[in-house]
Structure 1
Amino acid sequence: MHTMVIEITLIIVRIAVGLAMYQGSSASSSNEDSVASIKIGKCCESNELIVDDRCTPIGEATHGEGLWRPTFTNEDGRRLNVQPKFEFKFGLPKCKNNERQWKIYNAPNPPNMDLLKILSSGKLRHCTQCNFDNTDWTADELAEDEQENAKNKRYYDYEFGTYCADKIILRKENISTFYARVCLPIKKHVMHTDTMMRRIIDPSFRAISVACYLFVAVVYFVLPQLKNLIGNIVTSLMLCLVTNHCAAMVRIFPEFGSHVSFLIADVVMYVSLMSAFFWLSSLGYYIWKTFRSRNIFLRSTDGKKYCYYSLYVWSLTAVIGTMAIFSHFMLDTNKPIIADTPDIPQETIGWLAVAVLFTPVAFSVIFNVWFVATTTNFIKRMNTYGRIHHKMKYSFRMFVFLFIIMGVAWSFTLLSWMRSELEYCSIVINLLQAILILYVCVFGQRRVTCLLRKTCNCCSPGEATQGLDWGEEMTAMNLG
C-alpha cells in the first residue's frame, strides 16, 4: 500500500515537473519571438542590393562584398555589443497621400554629414549636418548638439513602415554606402515653382489642349461637307495629338507607378507624336500632288485614297516603333529609371529609342519644307484657278500653318531636354499649339464656321450665300 502511494506521488511530481518545464520552454520561446519581432524595412530582396537606383543581385554587382545587415544602436547612439534578432520586410515604404519618398545617403564626409543608424527598437535615425565621427553616437555629443540648436532638431527617427534601408553602389562615384528611402510630409503651404509648373500647370494645359484637339476632330468628322480626304487626315492627326497628351499626363504623376507602366506610356507618347507628323506629311504630299498633277479629276475616291494613306502611315509607324523597342531592350546600355514610384523603380524609355523615333520626325520636317517650297512655286506659275485648285489653295494655307505650329512646338521639346529652364517654355508652347491649331482649322476658316452655324441653327433664316467660299451656294441651299 505504501509503495502504491509512493509511486502515485512520484508520478504526480513528474507530471508537475514536466508542466513546469513546458511552461518555461514556452515562456522562453515567447521571449525569443518577442526579440525576433523587430522588423526592418529593406528596399530590395534578401539576395539583392541597389546599384544606381536599381535592385541588382549580388552576383551582378561590380563593387562591394556581402549582403547588407543592419548594425543596431541604442537610444543614446551607442553601438550594441549583442545584436538583437530581427526580420526583413522587403519593398519600398508605402507613403500616404500627403507624403513623398526621399532618398538619404550615409555620407560620412566632414564637415556636413548625413548619418544613418538602426535603433534597437527598429527605428531608423537620420542625423543631419553632424560634425562628429559616425562610428558611435554618444549621449554627450547628441546633448551638446541639441543644446546648440534647440530650435532645429538635428536628428529624426522614422518608424518601421515609413522607411526602407539597404546598401547602394554608385558606379559613377565609385562608392558603396548605406542608403535609405523615407516618407516625408509634403508642406502644402509651400508651393515651389517647379512643383507648380510640373504638377498643376502642365496637366491643366494638356487637358485644355486635349479638349481643343477633340473639338477639331469632332468638327471634321461630323460635318458631312468636311468628310473628304483632307478632313479625314486632319481628324487622324488630331487623334494622334490627343493620344500624345494623354500619355504625357500619365508620365507626370509617378505615384501611379503601381497601376501603369511608364515605359509603355513613354512609347505611346513618342510613337503618337511621330505618327502625327507622318499624317502632316501625308497632307502636304496630297496637296503637292494635286497641284503638280495636270488631271485633277482622278478615278480614286477619297475613301480609297484615305485607306492608302492610312496603310502608309500606320505601317511606317509600326515598323519604326518596333525598331525603337528593339533598340531599347537589345542595344541600349544606359536605361533610365523612374525612382519616385510607390513600389519598385520603373524602367522608362532610353535615349537610343527616342533617337530612333525622332529621326523620322526630323526627316518629315525636311520633306514638309520641300512640299511647301515646291507647292508655292506651282501656285505662283498658275494663271487660272479652278474650283478644286481654289479649294486646295485654302487647304495648302492650313497645311503651312499646321506645319509651322507643330514644327516650333517640336523644336521646343528638343530644346527642353538640353536646358531645364526651357521645359517651362515647352509647357506653355504646348497650350499655344493647341489654341493656334483650333483657330487655323476651325475658327480661322469662314467656310467651317459657316457650316457650324448652319448645323447648330444659329443663323437667321435670311442668311444665304453671303460669306461662303469655294462655291458653297448649293450647300447652303441644300441646308435650307
Structure 2
Amino acid sequence: MILVYTQTLILLIWVTATRAEVGDDDLNEVSDQVYAVKINKCCELNQIMVDSVCRLVELYNQSVWEPQFKTEDGKDTTVKHFNYVTGIPDCATTQQRPIFDLGKSEDELNLLEDGRLQHLIHHQHSSDHIKDDPFITNTYSIHEAIAIPEVKEPSSYIHDQAKYCMDKIFITSSNITGQYALVCIPEVIINWKETSFLMKKILNPLFHAIAMVLYLLVAIIYFVLPTLRDLAGNIITTITMCLIVSQAADLVRIFTELSNHVSFMVTDIILYISLLGAFFWLNSFGFYIWKTFNLSCRSRNVFLRVTDVRKYCYYSSVVWFAVGVMAAMAICAHFLLDSGTNPYKKMRLSNTIILEDVEQETIGWLGIAVFFTPVAFTIIFNLFFYVTTLKVIKRINIYGRIHYKLKGCFDLFMQLFLIMTTAWLFLLLSWLNFDGLFYAHIVVNLLQAILIFYVCVVRQSHVTFLLRKSCCYAEPIPTGEWGDEMTHMNGGNY
C-alpha cells in the first residue's frame, strides 16, 4: 500500500510539472503503465514452453499464451492493463518446483487479478491418460491422488508476484497443451513444539550423528590396536563401517528440503547395500565361529593352516560378490519389473507447517524386497549357527586359550546378532503408517549404536585393558598378555 501511495505521489508531481506539454491521452497511457498488473512469463513473448524448453510458437503451429484471470473464489474476471515480466523467478535460498495444469490433472493454476498465482490441488481426481504419458511421468512427476478421506476441499496455495513464472506448455509426445508454472516453494513455518518436528527433524539427525561417532570409535579401536586386528576384529571393523555408511545415507533422506539437489534413489541404494553388507558380514562372523568350533573337535592343528589375513580376503571376496549380485538384482527389479507402482515418494509436512508435496524417485517395494529378503535368510542362518555352535561348546570338556577366545567371539556374535536383528525389525515396522512406530525406530537406532559400542568395547575386558595401556599410561601395547591367542592361531605371523 505504501508503494502505491508513493507511485501516485510521484505521478501527480510529474503531471503537475509537465501538464502544459502533455495531453490527456498521454496522461492516461502513463497512468495505465503505473497501475498495470505485472505477469511473470517464463519464456519470451513469442515463445511457449515445449516439453521442457522455450520454443518459438510458429515452429509448432501453436498460439502464444493468453493469461486468463480469476478471483480467489474461482470466478472469471478481466484485467484491462497488464505487463509481462519474462524469465524464471529468483527464489534465492528456496527451491523451485514445476506445476502443470493440463485440464483434468490434479493441479489447477489460476492467475489472480492482482498478479499473484493461485495453485489448487484437487485430492480426488486426476486424468489417467495424462499420468500414463511417459514424458510427463519421467520429467515432471505428475501427482498421484492423495488418499486422505477427510480432505474434501482442494488445498490452495498463493504465490506472490515475482515468486513464480507462468506460460503455456505443449507436450509433443501426446499433443497435450496446458498451463505451466515454475514457483518458489515458500519458507516453512516451523512449530518447534510439535512432536513430529522434534522427533523427525531434530532428534533423528542428532541420533544419527551420535550413532556414526560411536560406530567410528569401534572401527578405529579395532583397526588401530594390533592385537585386535585378527579375523574377528576385522569383521567387526567392516560391520561398523557398513553401519556408518547406512547412517550417513539415511541422514541425507531426513532433510526433504534437499530434494532438488539430492537423489533419494542414490541414497536408498547406498542405504540398502550397506545394510545388506553389514548383515552378510555378521553372517560370515557366525559361519567362521561355527566352522572353527566344528573343525577344532576333529583336528588340533586347524588354527595353523591359514592366516587371518588370507581368511579375511576369502570372506571379503565372497561377501562383497554376494552383496553386488543382490544389489544388481534389486536395481534391475526396480527398473525393469516394478512398473505397477509409483516410484515417486510423496512427502508431506504436518498440518502445523506449510503443506507442500515433495516428490523424489525412490526404490520401489519390489526392489526393497530383493534387498531385504537375503537379510531375513541371514537371520535364519545365524540362528542355525548359534544353535549348532552352542551344542558343540557344551560337548567340549577341555578348554584351551584358543577355545576361550572363540567362546568370547561366540558371545560377541550372539550379542551383535540380537542387537542388529532387533534394529532391523524396527526399521521394517517404521514403514507402517503409525508415527509411534517411526519414533520407536528413531530411538532404537540410537540404542543399537550404544549397545554395539558397549558389547564391542566396554564389555570386552581385554579391549579396555589395551586402551588403558596405550592411552592412559602411554605404554607399548603388550602382545603376550591378550594377543598371544591370535599369535598361535596365525602360526606366529601377524
TM-score by length of 1: 0.68
Deviation by residue 1:425-465 (Cα, 9 ceiling, x = unmatched): 0000000000000000000011110011011134999xx99
Residue 376 of structure 1 corresponds to 390
1:453 matched to 2:446: no
Q: List alignment gaps of at least 5 residues for structure 2.
A: 1-28, 53-62, 122-154, 170-177, 349-355, 489-494
- Distance (whole Å) between structure 2 residues aligned to residue 424 and residue 105 of structure 1: 37
Residue 77 of structure 2 corresponds to 79
Matched-pair contact (CA < 8 Å) for 2:38–2:115: no
Match of 2:199 among 197, 204, 222: 197
- Distance (whole Å) between structure 2 residues aligned to residue 160 and residue 259 of structure 1: 25
Match of 1:332 among 335, 338, 350: 338
Residue 439 of structure 1 corresponds to 454
- Distance (whole Å) between structure 1 residues aligned to residue 93 and residue 426 of structure 2: 36
Match of 2:117 among 115, 120, 124: 124
Matched letter for residue 91 of structure 2: K
Matched letter for residue 318 of structure 1: G
Deviation by residue 1:91-118 (Cα, 9 ceiling, x = unmatched): 9x83746x99899999xxxxxxx99631
1:430 matched to 2:465: no
Q: Secondary structure at the match of 1:349?
A: coil
TM-score by length of 2: 0.66
Pairing 1:125-164 to 2, within 5 Å after superposition: 125=118, 157-163=158-164
Larger radius of gyration: 1
Residue 401 of structure 2 corresponds to 387
Per the alignment, do residues 101 and 159 of structure 1 end up closer, same or farther by CA in structure 2, a change over 3 Å counting?
same
Matched-pair contact (CA < 8 Å) for 1:41–1:160: no
Deviation by residue 1:296-323 (Cα, 9 ceiling, x = unmatched): 3241110000000000111111111111
**Displacement of 1:67:** 12
Residue 355 of structure 1 corresponds to 369
1:415 matched to 2:429: yes
Per the alignment, do residues 127 and 378 of structure 1 end up closer, same or farther by CA in structure 2, a change over 3 Å counting?
closer
Matched-pair contact (CA < 8 Å) for 2:36–2:81: no
Match of 2:91 among 77, 89, 94: 94
**Displacement of 1:397:** 0.1
**How many residues matched?**
383
Matched-pair contact (CA < 8 Å) for 1:263–1:348: yes
- Distance (whole Å) between structure 2 residues aligned to residue 361 and residue 74 of structure 1: 56
Q: Secondary structure at the match of 1:46?
A: strand
Residue 12 of structure 1 corresponds to none
- Distance (whole Å) between structure 2 residues aligned to residue 167 and residue 448 of structure 1: 68
Matched letter for residue 80 of structure 1: T
- Distance (whole Å) between structure 2 residues aligned to residue 115 and residue 241 of structure 1: 44
- Distance (whole Å) between structure 2 residues aligned to residue 305 and residue 319 of structure 1: 21
Per the alignment, do residues 179 and 351 of structure 1 end up closer, same or farther by CA in structure 2, a change over 3 Å counting?
farther
Q: List alignment gaps of at least 5 residues for structure 1.
A: 1-27, 50-65, 107-113, 129-153, 169-175, 476-480
Q: Secondary structure at the match of 2:110?
A: strand
- Distance (whole Å) between structure 2 residues aligned to residue 390 and residue 277 of structure 1: 25
For the aligned residue pairs, the C-alpha RMSD in angstroms reads 4.5
